[in-house]
Amino acid sequence: MKVKTSVTLSEKLLKAISAETNHANRSAFIEEAAWHHLRRYQREKRDQKELEIINANADELNEEAIDVLGFQANE
């Protein structure tokens, strides 16, 4: 469902959007851009959480990797 809303944009941005699309498609262009940005933001947030988990467990993971490499070297 589409909801009509009012958004304030700079004249420069509106002109740039208008240059890329026709007047009828500006809303679709802005919606697509907003979805794209939101997905990227969510992905970056998820990646940051995963990196924090990896860093919190880095010492244990590194010890396991050294053990595995030690077993492989002895074969």
Q: Of the candidates 24, 21, 22, 27, which has an alpha carbon nearest to the alpha carbon of residue 7?
A: 27
Output DSSP code: residue 7: -
**Does the reported pTM lie above 0.85?**
no
Question: Domain locations in the chain?
Answer: 14-73
| pLDDT tens, residue by residue, 26-46 | 999 999 999 999 999 999 999
Tokens of 16: 């740039």
| pLDDT tens, residue by residue, 57-67 | 999 989 999 99
